[in-house]
Structure 1
Amino acid sequence: MSAEPARRAGDTLHTLAGYQSKARDALRDTVRRIAGLQVENPVQREIIARELGVVLLQAPTAAGKTLILGRTLESLRGAVLGKFAWFWFTPFVGLVEQTKDALSAQCPSLRLREVAKDRTAESTRDGDVFVQTWATVAANNADARKVRRRAEDSGSIDDLISELRDKGFSIGVVIDEAHVNFGTSAHAAAEFYLNVLKPDATILATATPNDEKLESFEKEAGIRVESRVVVDRQAVVDAGLNKIGLVLGIVTFGEEDSKLVDPEQAAFAAGWARHKKIRNELSDRGIAVTPLMLVQVEDQKTGQADPVGRVREKLVQLGVPAAAIKSHTSGKPDPDFHAFAHDPDVEVLIFKVAVATGFDAPRAWTLVSVRPNRGVQFGLQIVGRIMRVHPAVRHLHKTVPLLDNGFVVLTDPE
C-alpha cells in the first residue's frame, strides 16, 4: 500500500530563501536537460546518465539541503518528459526518519514510499520517493535480503525497478551526505547502484565535499560528477539560518598545573558555564528554548571502560542534572535519539561519532570535544551540528553575539 505524506498539525510550509530557490532551479534544470537528452537519444541513455547525469549540491550545514532537494523533486513532477521514481539514500538509519519527517512537512506533493513494505509498481506515481539507507538494499543482513527477495505478496526491489522502467518511469537517485558515499557496504551498494538502479539522474548532496572521496565514488560507481551547485555560507548567514561564527576555547596547562587540574574536567566546566550563560540569556529574553550542549568522547579501547560513563560522572560532579544527560553511540544507540534534538529536558548529549553527520539540533550552541582530531572534514561535520540558528532566535540574528556564535571547547590543540 502506498504511503501518503502525513503532515503534522501546525506545520507551516517554508518560503524558500533566494539562494535556496536558485539551487532548486539549477538542480531541476540539470535533471530536465539530462532527461531531454535521454529522450532524444534513447540508445545512449545509460552513457548520458553516467557521463552527464550526476550533479552535486554543495551547501553548508543549516542551508536547508533536505528542503532544497525535496522542493527540487516537487518541481520536477510533470516538468520532464516521462515520469520519475526517486530512491533517496541516507548514510544512517537514524537519518531516514528525520528525512521523512522533513519531506512530509515541507514537500506535501511528494508521496513517501516504504521499500520494505511496498514494492508495487502499479500504484507508483510520478515523483514518488523511497527513503532508505544503502544497507537496506545492499548489505549482507536480513533486511537487505528481504527486500531483494520475491515474496508471495510482493516482488523484490529489483523487480520493482524493472517494472517501473517497463511502465515508462525514469529512475532518479538522491544520495544525501554524499561525503559518506556508499557507507560500510560500499562494494555491494555500488553494485546495486550500477546494475540494479541504473539511475537516469543522480543528485549528490553534502556540506563538506571531499574531492578524494568524490573521486573514489566516481571510480566505484563508474560515473562522473559533471556539475556542481554551490551555496555560499555567507548567503546562509545572511538568510538567518547559519550562525555568524565560532568562539573557540582550547584547554591547556603547564606541566605542573596539569598534575593538579584535570584538563578534561576543565573543558566540561568551561562548556557548561557557557551553556548556562546562553540558557540565562534566552530565559531573560522570554524565549522558551533550552539550549543543548554536545560532548564528543573518544572510542572505547579494548580492555578499557566505555568513556561515556566516565564523562557522565564528571558532568554530574559539575552539577549537571543526571536526568538531563543522554548519550548515543553506534555501540549503544538510543531509540529516541532524534527526539533529543527537541526535548527541553535533555541539556547534554554525549556521543562518539554517531551525531557527527546530519543530526539536526538547532538548539545546540555548545560543543565540548575530548576526542583526538580525525581530520578537517570530520571536524567541519562536527562543528556543523552547532551552526544552525533556532527559529525562535532568528529575529535577533546579528544583534546578540552570545547567540550568534557557536562555542567549541577542545582539549587537543591539534
Structure 2
Amino acid sequence: MGITLANFQLKAIEALMEAMGEPNRDIILKSCTGSGKTIILTHFMDEYLKSTNKAVFVWLTPGKGNLELQSKAKMDKYIHGSNTKLLSDIMSSGFEENDACFINWEKLTKKGNNALKDSERTNFVEHIQNAIDNGLTFTIIVDESHQNDTIKADDILALFNANKIIRCSATPKNYKNALLIEIPEEDVIAEGLIKKLLIINENFEQHISVEDQISYLLDKALEKQRDLRAAYAKKDSGVNPLIIVQLPNKSDALLDRVEEYFESKGITYENNLLSVWLSDKKQNLEDIEDNDATPIAVIIKQAVATGWDCPRAQILVKLRDNMSEVFEIQTIGRIRRMPEAKHYGEDLLDCCYLYTLDEKFTESVKLSLGTGALDAYKVFLKPEYRSFTLISQFKTDIPFPRDAKFALKVIWKFFEKKYHTATDLDKNQSQLEAYGYSFDEDIVDFTKSGSVSVLSKDQITELNDISIHEPLNTHKHGKEYHHCVAEIGYKANLDYSSTNTIMRKLFLKGVRCDAKILRLETRNLYAFIINNERRLIEDVRDAMADESLQLTLAIPRITEKPVGFPLEMIFTYDGTSKSQMEYTKNVYTGYLSSAEKRSMPEKLFERFCEGSGKVKWFYKNGDKGSEYFSIVYTDNFGKQKSFYPDYVVGTNGGDIWIIETKGGFTKSGSSEDIDRFTAKKFGVLRKYLDGYNLQGGIVRQDKQSGELCICVDKYSDNIHDENWQLLSEVL
C-alpha cells in the first residue's frame, strides 16, 4: 500500500465489506469533505474484488470538472495493478471481471451530449446486458449522490440491475431501507485531516453598518491571510493560505468590484497573486492546489464546489446579493482540509475562517456543522494574571515508537495477574478456558432461539444460545484472522505487524519467546484469535491502561519549562445560546457563559467557579500545543502521552488548584466516564501536585444529587466511597 490509512478509514472499509453481506441493496457512506472518501472507496473496491468472483464496480461521478479522471487516477496511484477503465474503454472492450469503471453521469444522461450518440447508447446497454449474461454482478458507487437525484439518473441505475448501490455524500438525502455507514467527524478531526473548527466572522463589531461589504469582508480576509502566512513560516512550513471569494451565481457586477478591490491592494492576475475560476473566465489555476502556489485568492461561484481539492484553502469570503441561495456544505468543505494532513497544535492554524454578511448562510452553516462552527472574537488576558506561570511538562522530542517488546511483556503480565497464567502452558489453556476463553477448533458464531412476549433484558437472556460451527479454512478465514489482529491492534494503537508478532509470540507453537502463554498450532491460533476477538481487545486495552503494571517500564525523559496563560486567544462561543453572561472570574476579559466547545462537566464547573465565594479566578486550559499547560504520562506500552488538565483555579486564600473534569455518575451510580486512562492521569496529577505543593483533583457530577464531587487523594470509580467529597465543601 502506497499510503498509510487512518484508523477511521480502516474501520469504514471494514464496515463496507460487512455491508456487502447484508440484505440491504442501498448503502450510504456519509463522510465530511476531507475524510479521504476516494481513498476509502478505492481500497474497499480492491479488497472486495480480491475476495469475490465475477464482480465489477461502476463509479459514477457528477457534472463538470472531470472528476471521473481524478478518481481513476487516484485508484491507479493507490492500488497498483488495478483494472481501471473509463467510458471509452468500456465502449471498445465491454465490462470484464474485476473492472473498476469510472464514468461521468452526464455522459450517460444528457441528451445532445456527444459522448454517446444514440447508436452508442444502445451499444452501452448491450455491454451491460452481455456482462450480466456472462454472470458478472455490478456494484454501483454514486459519488456526491445528492447531486444526482433525478429520474434520468434512476433509469440508468436500473439498467445495471446492481446488487448493491453505494451512495457517498457529506449531505445524503434520506433513503428508505438503506444501510448507513457514517464516519464521525470527530474521528477525522482527531486524525488531523480536517480543521478543528470553523470560525465565523471573527472580531466583527456587534452592530455593523458598512459603506461597502466587499472592502469590509476582504480587509478582514487579507489580514487573516497574513497572520496565517506568518504562523506557517514560524513552523518552517511553506504553506501559502488561500482565500476563496465566492460570488453569488447571478452577479457579474460584483466580479468587477472584487477585482478592483484586489488591484488596489496590488493583487492582480498579472502578478499571479489572483486567480479566477468561472465558467467563462479562468486564470492562474495551474497548480493552484499546491501548498506553496503563488495565488493568495481565487474568485469562484457556487458551481466549482464539487470535488475540488485544495487543502491550503483556509478562508472563505461569501458575498451576497439580495437573492437567497441554497447553502452548500461542500463550499465549506473546501476550506476544512489540513494542508499537510496534520494539526499544528495552534488554534490559529488548526481552524478555518468564514467572513460573510449573509445571515441565512451563517444560520445554515451553524445548523449543519453544530459546534463545529462558532462565533468568535479575540479576548485579552487581564493584567494581573500576566506574570503567572506553572511548570509544564513536555514529551521529549525523540519519537518514541510503541515498543512491541514492552507491549508483549505487559500483556503477558496482565494475563498472569488476571487469569493466573504461569510457565505451565498446558495448565494455562485450562485456566483461560475456565475464564471463558474459547479453544474450539471451528469458527463459532452464536445466535439465540426461543420466544419472548416482551422485549425485556431478562426474557432475552433466558433464550437458548445456539452456536453455529463452521470448520476452519485457513484460506477463507485468513482474511478474518488479519481483520481481527488489525482490530486488536487498532484498539491499542499498535500497528498490524507488531500486533501479529505479539499474538504469535504469546500463543503460537514453534515461535521462541520467554513470555509465552500458549503453544497453539497455526490453525488453532487462527480459530483462537477469531473466536476470542472481543475478549482479546478488552484484555489488551486493559493491559495498556492498568496502573499496577506501569512499574515494569523505564520512564523516558521529560522536558520541563514554565508556561503562563496566552496573552490573547480566539474565544469561541455559541451566539444562539440563551445565556450570554460574562464570567468575571475568568482570567480573560469578555469570557462568556456560552463558551464552546465545552462538555457538560466543563460547563457545570465554570458555573460553579463563577458562583463560588472561595474562587478568585479560573483559567480554561487548551487541549494541545506547547503554549498550554501539560503533564506527561506513559502508557504501559512505553508511549509518552501529554495530559492537558482542564482548569487552573486560584482561591482567595492564595491556593492554586489544578482540576480535570470527567463524565458523571448516573443516578444508579454507574460511571459515564469514557476515558480508560483516568486513573493513570489522576496518578500523575497527584504526583505533580505533591511535587509543586499545589492542590487539585478530578471533578465529576453525581447525577443522583445533581452535585459536583471531587476526588483528591486516591482515585476511585465508585461515587459512594469516601474518596469522593462535595466540591463545594473542598474548594
The CA deviation at 1:157 is 1.5
Q: Which residue of 2 aligns with 1:340?
A: 288
Q: CA deviation at 1:225?
A: 4.5
SS of equivalent residue, structure 1 residue 62: coil
Give the equivalent residue in structure 2 for 1:233: 185
Q: Could you tell me how far 1:336 is from its partner in structure 2?
A: 8.0
Render the CA deviation track for 1:65-85: whole Å, top value 9, x for unaligned. Answer: 1111111111111312x3222
The CA distance in 2 between the partners of 1:347 and 1:69, in whole Å, is: 32
Native 8 Å contact 2:62 2:105 kept in 1: yes
Shift in Å at residue 165 of structure 1?
1.2
Question: Aligned partners of 1:165, 1:129: CA distance in 2, in Å?
Answer: 16
Given that 1:74 and 1:109 are in contact with CA atoms closer than 8 Å, whether structure 2 keeps it comes out as no
Q: Residue 148 of structure 2 aligns to which amino acid in structure 1?
A: N
CA 1:333–1:225: 2 relative to 1, 3 Å: farther
Task: Give runs of aligned pairs for residues 56-75 of structure 1, distance below 5 A.
Answer: 56-75=28-47
Give the corresponding residue for 2:386.
none
- Structure 2 vs 1, CA of residues 407 and 205 (structure 1 numbering), >3 Å: closer, same or farther? same
Alpha-carbon distance, 1:161 to partner: 0.9
Superposition pairs for residues 290-305 of structure 1, below 5 Å? Answer: 290-300=240-250, 305=252
Aligned equivalent of 1:249, options 201, 222, 227: 201
- Distance in 2 separating the partners of 1:93 and 1:87: 18
SS at match of 1:162: helix
Distance 1:128 1:188 in 2: 24
Q: Does 1:198 align with 2:147?
A: no
Give the C-alpha shift of residue 252 in structure 1.
7.0
The match for 2:259 is 312
CA displacement at 1:384 relative to structure 2: 1.1
> Could you tell me how far 1:107 is from its partner in structure 2?
2.5
Structure 2 distance, partners of 1:407, 1:168, is 52
**Superposition deviation, residue 289 in structure 1:** 2.0
Q: How much does 1:254 deviate?
A: 5.9
1:399 is paired with a residue of what secondary structure? coil
Q: 232-241 or 283-292: which moved more? A: 283-292
Cα distance in 2, alignment partners of residues 62 and 390 from structure 1: 10
Matching residue of 1:166: 133
Identify the residue that residue 355 of structure 2 maps to in structure 1: 409
Bigger radius of gyration: 2
What is the rounded CA distance, in whole Å, between the counterparts of 1:334 and 1:139 in structure 2? Answer: 25
User: After superposition, what is the alpha-carbon deviation per residue over 1:81-136, rounded to whole angstroms, capped at 9, x for unaligned?
Assistant: x32222111112312232223222223343221213442456x5433122122111
Structure having the larger proportion of residues in helix: 1
Kept after mapping to 1: 8 A contact 2:274/2:284: no
2:62–2:144 CA contact under 8 A, matched in 1: yes
Q: Aligned residue for 2:691?
A: none
Task: Return the offset for 1:241.
Answer: 0.6
**Shift, 1:319, TM fit:** 3.1
1:90 corresponds to:
61
Could you tell me which runs of 5 or more consecutive residues in structure 1 were left unpaired when the two chains were aligned.
1-11, 35-51, 215-223
Q: CA deviation at 1:167?
A: 1.8
State the match for 2:147 in structure 1.
180
- Gap change, CA 1:120 and 1:200, over 3 Å in 2: farther
Matched, 1:20 2:9: yes
Could you list the per-position Cα deviations for residues 210-239 of structure 1 after superposition, in whole angstroms to 9, with x for gaps in the alignment?
A: 33xx5xxxxxxxxx4420101101100111
Aligned partners of 1:335, 1:383: CA distance in 2, in Å? 23
Displacement after TM superposition at 1:299 (Å): 1.9
Instruction: Give the whole-Å Cα distance in 2 for the aligned partners of 1:89 and 1:337.
Output: 26
Question: In the aligned structure 2, how far is the partner of 1:67 from the partner of 1:263?
Answer: 40
Distance 1:99 1:252, change over 3 A: farther
Q: TM-score, normalised by structure 2?
A: 0.45
1:389 paired to 2:338? yes
- 1 CA distance for matches of 2:283 and 2:161? 34
Residue 93 of structure 1 aligns to a residue in which SS?
coil
Q: 1:253 to 1:33 in 2, by over 3 A?
A: closer
Contact 2:96–2:131 (CA under 8 A) maintained in structure 1 = no
Q: Which moved more, 1:346-355 or 1:230-239?
A: 346-355
Counterpart selection for 1:132 from 103, 108, 114: 103
Whole-Å Cα distance in 2 between the matches of residues 105 and 62 of structure 1? Answer: 18
Q: How far apart are the structure 2 equivalents of 1:20 and 1:243? A: 17
Aligned twin of 1:47: none
Aligned amino acid, residue 164 of structure 1: A
The aligned residue for residue 374 of structure 1 is 325
CA gap 1:181/1:240 in 2 versus in 1, 3 angstroms = same
Query: How far apart are residue 206 of structure 1 and its match?
Result: 0.7
Distance of aligned partners of 1:18 and 1:336 in 2 relative to their CA distance in 1, 3 Å threshold: same
Give the match for residue 274 of structure 1.
224
Residue 167 to residue 56, structure 1, CA distance change in 2 (3 Å): same
When the two structures are aligned, how many residues end up with a matched partner? 353
Provide, for residues 21-79 of structure 1, a one-character-per-residue CA deviation record: whole Å limited to 9, x for no partner: 11111112222445xxxxxxxxxxxxxxxxx2110001111111111111111111131
**Distance in 1 (alpha carbons) for counterparts of 2:250 and 2:206:** 25
Contact 1:76 1:127 in 2 (8 A): no
The residue identity in structure 2 corresponding to 1:365 is Q
Higher relative contact order (CA closer than 8 Å, sequence separation 6+): 1
Contact 2:28 2:172 (C-alpha < 8 Å) held by counterparts: no
What secondary structure is seen at the aligned counterpart in 2 of 1:406? strand
Distance 2:253 2:102 in 1: 33
RMSD: 2.6
Q: Secondary structure at the match of 2:34?
A: coil
Partners of 2:186 and 2:120 in 1: CA distance: 50
Match of 1:207 in 2: 170
